[in-house]
Structure 1
Amino acid sequence: MGIISRGKALWAKIYYQKRIKMKAAACGEKLYVGGKSFVNSNTYLGYGVCFNGMSILGQGKVEIGNYFHSGTECQIITSFHNYEGEQIPYDNSYITKNVKIGDCVWLGNNVIILGGCVIGEGAIIQAGSVVCKDIPAYSIAGGHPAIPFKTRDKEHYLKMKKEERFH
């Protein structure tokens, strides 16, 4: 990577980080933004959040816990067109649902989370998945829709958390 390319990449990281801090309702310390990322004004970010490319769209409340990590091109969508309104296929009104994500959640690349979902602490969402239902704590989930297919070793996870071994 040339000097100009590195300079542009660094500028972009600083730009998106500053934008997120200004736009979010709350933002914990040690925010890292490694790729093009956007939040809504109803976003609450914990400590040590890491976005490598996140778009938070819609008007719903989004709460993201501490030590969250996203892959590239991830989306959280909290507002949807009303398909049961006065017109078809949809009208100009919206249905808004909140999203809550626990501590130490990791999203792979290209994950989409739809409004109304809760993702429990320590969960991992496989790349390319669409989350449209709650994902329990410590679950590893994937697919369309994302479903848990494995559970993390909870004792190991809690030991690492107690020792504050965060990435």
Structure 2
Amino acid sequence: MDTGFLYKYLLYGNKERLQIAETAVVNNATFNTISGTIQIGEYVFFGHHVAVLTGTHDYNKFGRERQITVPAFEKDVIIKEGAWLASNVTVIGPCIIGEHSVVAACSLVNKDVPPYTIVAGIPARVIKKITPPSNTAQTVG
């Protein structure tokens, strides 16, 4: 089985600012680390064509200056353990996508996503809560 495609992503910016857990699957994502860091946690998985962007431009600038003026920091994106970003999702930092959350296909995330929630839309909004697994041990008797 050829899994090479699962790990062919595009990166714009400094590779040192991108951290992808070994258990994560990012498919053919696009990452922009121009204006911050991107951290992708354990067991995170992406559908196809997901874009995670820290880069932004200053809309108060014009011409060439608008093209090249970008902040260097403070637009970090953190995607926590077990999150699922479906196909064609765009994430614009700064934001944190919480543990085991789900971002529906074609959504735009531009603010934090709480853990154990499903978000959808442009911009993404909470549409449903996910029941976390019970941490209580079950006894067999």
1:129 to 95, 101, 107: 107
Q: Which has the higher contact order (CA 8 A, sep 6+)?
A: 2
Question: Is contact 2:41-2:82 (8 Å) kept?
Answer: yes
Indicate conservation of the 8 Å contact 1:37/1:51, yes or no.
yes
1:83 to 51, 59, 68: 59
Which sections of structure 1, spanning at least 5 residues, go unmatched? Answer: 1-5, 14-32, 163-167
Q: 1:47 aligns with which of 12, 22, 44?
A: 22
Please, which of 87, 90, 105 is the counterpart of residue 112 of structure 1? 90
What one-letter code is carried by the residue in structure 2 that aligns with 1:37? Answer: Y
Unpaired segments ≥5 residues, structure 2: none
The residue that corresponds to 1:148 in the other structure is 126
**Aligned-pair CA distance for 1:88:** 6.2
8 Å Cα contact 1:63-1:99 kept in structure 2: yes
Aligned length: 130
How far off its partner does 1:52 sit? 1.9
Q: CA deviation at 1:140?
A: 0.4
Q: Which moved more, 1:52-61 or 1:72-81?
A: 52-61
Match of 2:10 in 1: 38
Greater fraction helix: 1
1:165 alignment counterpart: none
1:139 corresponds in structure 2 to: 117
User: In 1, distance between residues paired with 2:98 and 2:60?
Assistant: 31
Q: Percent identity?
A: 27
- 1:58 to partner: Cα distance: 3.4
Q: What is the TM-score when the length of structure 2 is the normalising length? A: 0.81
Matched, 1:69 2:41: no
CA contact (8 A) 1:84 1:90 kept: no
Mapped partners of 2:65, 2:131: distance in 1: 44
Q: What letter corresponds to residue 38 of structure 1 in structure 2?
A: L
Corresponding letter in the other structure for 2:79 = I
